[in-house]
Structure 1
Amino acid sequence: MSIVSMLKEVPHPGEFIRDELEARGWAQRDLAYILGVKEQAINPIMSGKRGISPDMARALSKAFGISPEYFLNLQKAYELSTSREADPAIERRAKLQSIFPIREMIKRGWFEDTQDVSLLETQVMRFFRTNLLEDVPCFAHSAKKSGDYSETTPLQMAWLFRVRQIADEMVAPRYSEAKLKASLVELERLMVDPEEIRHVPRILADAGIRFVVVETLPKANIDGVCFWLSASEPVIGMTCRHDRIDNFWFVLRHEIEHLLNKDSLESGLSSSIVDVDIDPSNENLPLVEVRANTAASKFCADQDAINSFLIRKYPYLSEKDTLGLARRLQRHPGIVVGQLQFRMAVEYKVNKYNWLTRHKVKIRQFLRGSANVDGWGDAIPVNL
């Protein structure tokens, strides 16, 4: 017998009380006398028109020698059996929300706000480009808590598919690796003035690269990604969650290196290609990530010059000397400060991430208007 059918057969507690009265040979007025109330006070309970309150449960407990919890449980079971069936859509919405941050995605304009769960599921399938809900990435494996699966994977996948959704609607010329390599010199010229970052999307587009900035989802800690819509349509996506000049250039060059090496060209979209919490000091990184980090560090600052500076100056690093190094390297001071902070943390085991941090200026503002930026209150309309 199912739980639902059992609940439907639960009698009102008044029936149990009548059985107890009959077993004891008591009349209803006898019970009223024992409880010290008028008979009219217990008539509604006996007829099933009123439930058993906690006070009455305690009184009946004394009268029958049965725990008050027993009477309360009888009342709860009866009320549950007579309650309306819950809307099946609740479970379906809970399933989606347990995997993806649906409310956040609606807030960001990725989905239409609706209580129609079928429409919501349709939007989720359309977003992930599948006709079956079971084929939505992470949906079928939402209960898995071990192995290669992690709780951030659905967040990574949702962010990644949003980047692709926007990139799909962008127009760019055919990708040219030669133009990209040549553009690295042009990009280096932009690394002195933060405002020059506004030219990055155009330079990348001229080389055939779709550049998209999508705000990361809560607790996802995503930095960027490089993937391919086709063999001639590369995409670089970034979050700019660390709104700092040093982080921007490091992550951008990291993703460009992935592109130059054609990383993920054959692998398609998966959470494994998303760069999360890029940390060059991690000794267990895959070779492709080590290679990308090395290229990014060299791009941000001449590593021989950084080494020489630290050997000569550490631990007495002055702001004046650091600004002089930045001028010689033709880099914004914030980029050089970021490189020095990292090298001190790795080689000297000294946390200096608050040192001269005012030079690590914000840059996100310079991308608005020149790049496809989705987030921080702005949403890019796309054809679903």
Structure 2
Amino acid sequence: MNAQTYTFNPDHCAPPGDLIQEYLDELDISARELARRCGRSGKLMSEIIAGKAPIEPETALQLERVLDVSASVWIAMEANYQLHTARQSEHQSMAASYDWAKLFPLKELAERECLKKVSDKSAQVEELLIFFGVGTVKACEEKIDELLQVDFRTTEKFSADRLALASWLRIGERRATSIETDTYDRDAFVKKLGELRGLTRMRLQEVLPAVEAQCAKAGVAFVLEKALPKTRASGASRWLSPRKALIQQSARHLTGDHFWFTFFHECAHLLLHSRKEIFIDVEKGAGSATPLQEMEANTWASEFLIPSADMREFQKSFSGDEDEVTDFAGRLGIAPGIVVGQLQHSGFVPHHRLNSLKERLEWK
């Protein structure tokens, strides 16, 4: 949820020079006389009164002695005026960036309470910058490039699908910061994955808390976040720091076998590949990994779930009966749907066969 600090932001703020002028009128002295008493130039004092020059700390101390108004009052008034002026300028520049902001899935992000959908153009741009944790539109574009990695830069730089994908990744990044994890330990992570492999036989809704908890104990934050429209993302993995990694999934196909294979595929990226990269897996087209990295992650996940030697032996005698799949899965200690998914992916059985053995998922 987007954390928002509510403050009073008036649409007008008088420069401290207005108050100085009131004192001059009351004392019936000129700006030049005030400048003489403060030891400043007449030109500078005139510019301060007109709001064209700021009150520096030294000048504030001098005004304190001459007008008997605390220097902290002058400094505070100057700071408020400068902030107000900067805010007004920012408001105009952000409003000019509204067409850029409209390319993001603002409605969906608001529905997920990641930001507020507001009518004011400038405020909407500001909401988006807060969501991405940046201060300017330029910094936001750089953050998006960072999230999407180099392979995605071959497409249109600010297309809606790219920005939706960056938004989905940012949701995972934000959620991961609130997940407490131990320091990453590779051996502990592999051990936890062995334990999680056995949980594939249970309903996913029941074991999700265990997936999150076991990953956290090994230094990996796990986030399940429904894909935003146009993202086509099934999973992503990255390092948030040398001590903490993130696995993010979308459960796009809404089947248990796809969820688990994607999970172990992302785990493989963390175990096998560079910590400097963000690995993004999408349904169609190239993700951010190289073909070799994708092959290595797929092979690792396949072997971890079903050793290839066992699968080849099973296929020799498999007649297509559901009970054979169930028995084989039982011997391996995994869900039958995972076996079906592997058989379908390899083309050994058609994609319309044995789907009754797959666990069906739904978003609530």
Tell me the secondary structure at the aligned position of residue 154 of structure 2. Answer: coil
Tell me the secondary structure at the aligned position of residue 351 of structure 2. Answer: coil
- Asked if structure 1 preserves the Cα contact closer than 8 Å seen for 2:240 and 2:246, the reply is yes
Q: Which has the higher contact order (CA 8 A, sep 6+)?
A: 1
* Range moving further from structure 2, 335-344 or 195-204: 195-204
Tell me the secondary structure at the aligned position of residue 245 of structure 2. Answer: strand
Where do residues 179-190 of structure 1 align in structure 2 (5 Å cutoff)? 179-190=188-199
Which of residues 305, 308, 311 in structure 2 aligns to 1:303? 308
Question: Partner residue of 2:283?
Answer: 277
Which of residues 288, 291, 297 in structure 2 aligns to 1:286? 291
Q: Tell me the distance in 2 between the aligned counterparts of 1:279 and 1:303.
A: 26
Higher helix residue share: 2
C-alpha deviation, 1:89, in angstroms: 8.7
Instruction: Name which one, 1 or 2, has greater alpha-carbon Rg.
Output: 1
Where do residues 164-183 of structure 1 align in structure 2 (5 Å cutoff)? 164-183=173-192
Q: Does 1:259 align with 2:270?
A: yes
- The 3 A distance-change label for structure 1 pair 233 and 285 is closer
Tell me the secondary structure at the aligned position of residue 190 of structure 1. Answer: helix
Question: Partner residue of 2:351?
Answer: 353
Question: Partner residue of 1:343?
Answer: 346
C-alpha deviation, 1:266, in angstroms: 1.9
- Asked if structure 2 preserves the Cα contact closer than 8 Å seen for 1:197 and 1:363, the reply is no
Which of residues 105, 108, 120 in structure 2 aligns to 1:116? 120
Tell me the secondary structure at the aligned position of residue 111 of structure 1. Answer: coil
Number of residue equivalences = 261
Residue deviations 1:138-179 (CA, integer Å, cap 9, x gap) = 8999xxxx9702443212211111110111122212111121
The alignment yields a C-alpha RMSD, in angstroms, of: 3.0
- Asked if structure 2 preserves the Cα contact closer than 8 Å seen for 1:155 and 1:220, the reply is yes
Where do residues 241-260 of structure 1 align in structure 2 (5 Å cutoff)? 241-260=252-271
Query: Any unmatched runs of 5+ in structure 1?
Result: 1-86, 365-375, 378-384
* Counterpart code for 2:119: Q
- The 3 A distance-change label for structure 1 pair 111 and 232 is same
C-alpha deviation, 1:96, in angstroms: 1.5
Question: Partner residue of 1:3?
Answer: none
Q: Does 1:330 align with 2:341?
A: no
- Asked if structure 1 preserves the Cα contact closer than 8 Å seen for 2:261 and 2:302, the reply is yes
- The 3 A distance-change label for structure 1 pair 197 and 305 is farther
- The 3 A distance-change label for structure 1 pair 127 and 90 is closer
Q: Does 1:130 align with 2:134?
A: yes
Tell me the secondary structure at the aligned position of residue 229 of structure 2. Answer: coil
Question: Partner residue of 1:102?
Answer: 106
Where do residues 187-202 of structure 1 align in structure 2 (5 Å cutoff)? 187-194=196-203, 195-202=206-213
- The 3 A distance-change label for structure 1 pair 160 and 147 is closer
Where do residues 18-37 of structure 1 align in structure 2 (5 Å cutoff)? none
Q: Tell me the distance in 1 between the aligned counterparts of 2:357 and 2:144.
A: 46
Q: Tell me the distance in 1 between the aligned counterparts of 2:315 and 2:190.
A: 30
* Counterpart code for 1:181: V
- The 3 A distance-change label for structure 1 pair 235 and 115 is same
TM-score by length of 2: 0.65
Tell me the secondary structure at the aligned position of residue 113 of structure 2. Answer: coil
